[in-house]
A and B are shown apart, each in its own frame.
Chain A
Amino acid sequence: SYVLTQPPSVSVAPGQTARFTCAGNGIGSKSVQWYQQKPGQAPVLVIFHENDRPSGIPERFSGSTSGNTATLTISRVEAGDEADYYCQVWDSRGDNFWVFGGGTKLTVL
């Protein structure tokens, strides 16, 4: 089955840039989504189709893909961005259609 690998944690100071990586074989050929999940809350879609933002998501959030790695970038990080971030792809050929990475916890110093 398809596997997505994310680092467990990222720490940045307010105002700096946070980058979250998501590694997967051939991920560049897949549609990548990113979800933000704050403690005790449901996930929120922040990036879809690799680099599209739903309405209401700030321009500070962007996505990209290079090789076998997708990246979520948050510019000018704010304290309110502290959350877990999950990458996800749709894999109709495997056992699990929705494949998630293990998540990366963002700590704002």
Chain B
Amino acid sequence: EVVLVESGGGAVQPGRSLRLSCSVSGFTFGDYALSWFRQAPGKGLEWVGFIRSKVYGGTTEYAASVKGRVTISRDDSESIAYLEMNSLKSEDTAVYYCGRVVGNDYVVDYWGQGALVTISS
């Protein structure tokens, strides 16, 4: 069974940093790209960034709204991906999801349950 589990969410003060983890099981993590998304309270889905598999260089891409403040990395030996965010703002308050990416058109076929990040002083 494919499972993704986010962790590391919580309340953070503006300007601080946070690292979320996405632990996966049920598939060979190293064979897949992984993407991060977020959903602000009462709002729709927004893409944050993704990391390709090592076969495709393990390179990353980021949404314009977070570029420069976000770093995505992966540890294939531990089947974990990370999302590091710095200089957090109130508008970063959201539920953050990780998702497994499949195919050449980058379909996200499985999602984690989400981790709530609240930015507040």
The chain A residues found within 8 Å of chain B, CB to CB, are: 1, 31, 33, 35, 37, 41-45, 48-49, 54, 86, 88, 90, 95-103
Contact = CB atoms under 8 A, between A and B. Distances in A.
Given A95-B63, A97-B50, A97-B61, A45 B45 contact: no
Nearest to A41: B113
Given A90-B105, A98-B35, A103-B44, 8 more contacts: A41-B113, A42-B97, A43-B97, A48-B107, A95-B64, A97-B50, A97-B106, A100-B46
Contacts of B107: 31, 33, 45, 48-49, 90
Contacts, number: 58
Interface string B50-68: 1000000000010110000
Contact of B44 (A33, A49, A97, A102): A102
Contact of A48 (B46, B109, B114): B109
B111 A98 contact: no
* Size band of the interface chain B makes with A: 20 to 34
Given A42-B97, A96-B64, A98-B35, A86 B44 contact: yes
A44 B37 CA distance: 13
18 contacts: A31-B105, A33-B107, A35-B45, A37-B45, A42-B97, A42-B113, A42-B114, A45-B107, A45-B108, A45-B110, A90-B106, A96-B64, A98-B47, A98-B108, A99-B47, A100-B44, A100-B45, A103-B44
